[in-house]
Amino acid sequence: MTVPISTPSLPVISLSEHKTLESLAIALYSACTGEGFLYVSDHGIPQATIDEAFGVAQDYFLHARPEDKVDLKENTGYTAVRQESLDSTRPSSGDLKECFHFADTHWLRNHGQKQDLPDSLEPSRKKIETFIEQINGVAERLLQGLAVALELPPDFLSCQHKGQHNRLRLLHYPPAEINHKDLDPGNPDIRAGAHTDYGSITVLFQHHISGLQVSRAGAWIDVLPREGCLVINVGDALEFWSGGLFKSTLHRVVMPRHQAETASRYSIAYFVQPDSTSVLEPLVTEAIGGIAHLQQQRGGVGRNHCSKGITCWDEEDQWGDYVQARLQATYPKKG
């Protein structure tokens, strides 16, 4: 069943309504301990900037020549259709999507670096930089609110997110028929396989076309594009830091179910990810509910992460190791 556009399937938090971090923290606490997915309205990113970014994506994916589709190092550059399988727990012919990844321009500038771009994207460098700057502003406020929600100093999380691993991902899901013929009938095709995100939070911009779903109590719930809203979701790092209190929830993008979904689908995700050396140890104090209690309830945080398609990792592991393991699991077709 599709939830009508007027009924949000997730909590909606208006950033301008929450004048203090404490008030924002209360709202975020409720959303992140519940679904781990929420809409954010009144975020302050101008619609014109968002439209420009979608314009860049559409232009690139429509006109890119082979030399514009360069797969660069450190998870930047181009990923081809079927190259990535986000659901690493089952055999797959690869997701029916293509992507282009930008590193965080702010971090690069601070380190005297510049991302090499294919010729077709070079003229859009400034637009993308402006967009990333705007998203970083929203992310910073959310990380502060989340830190306060975990009874940590407000800048505790933002200090560990200097942008080294932040990535802006332009996504294009090519057109497909409602009665799409799977490449391998044993493994039905999917636009994006069920997965959790690896980092702390993801800021997602959906264009007009639906298909994103979030797992809720064994069912899949549509997360429809909502005018003026971003979608925010918790990733594995934040789930881990919060001792399992905040949920990094499975989500996926399904194949077209009706005529409107058969067109190209565009979305833009910004992955806010910890710096390489951030140690992923649970930080939640007893006051918030007690990690020991949560670990008991959920069979241990470590075991929880094993179910996400990676081998067990220690509580002392650094973020850099974790993200490498996840990328290796989801890019089987990378040379």
Task: Tell me if residue 326 falls in helix, strand or coil.
Answer: helix
226 binds, among ligand AKG, Fe ion, none (CB under 5 to 8 A by kind): none
Rounded to whole angstroms, how far apart are CA atoms 51 and 15?
20
For the bound state, the minimum distance from the C-beta of residue 288 to ligand AKG, rounded and expressed in Å, comes to 28
CB of 57 to ligand AKG, least distance (A): 11
If one asks whether residue 192 binds ligand AKG (CB under 6 A), the answer comes out as yes
177-216 positions binding Fe ion, by CB under 5 A: 197
In whole angstroms, give the CA distance from residue 145 to residue 247: 16
For 75, list phi and psi in degrees, rounded to 5: 55, 45
Q: Where are the alpha helices (DSSP H) in 70-183?
A: 105-110, 125-149
**Which of Fe ion, ligand AKG, none does 301 bind, CB closer than 5 to 8 A by kind?**
none
**Strands across the sheet with 167-173, in order?**
12-14, 37-41, 230-234, 201-206, 265-272, 167-173, 98-103, 76-79, 71-72
Residues 157-186 touching ligand AKG, rule: CB under 6 A, are: 169, 171
Binding mask 195-234 for ligand AKG (x = CB under 6 A): --x------x-x-----x----------------------
Q: Which does 206 bind (CB under 5 to 8 A by kind): ligand AKG, Fe ion, none?
A: ligand AKG
**What does the block give as tokens for 243?**
């001792």
In the numeric block, the tokens 């003026």 are attached to 228
Instruction: Count residues binding ligand AKG (CB under 6 A).
Output: 11
CB of 213 to ligand AKG, least distance (A): 9
On whether the CB atoms of residues 214 and 248 are closer than 8 A, the answer is no
Least separation in angstroms between residue 332's CB and ligand AKG is: 17
Interacting residue ranges for ligand AKG, rule: CB under 6 A:
169, 171, 192, 197, 204, 206, 212, 251, 253, 267, 269
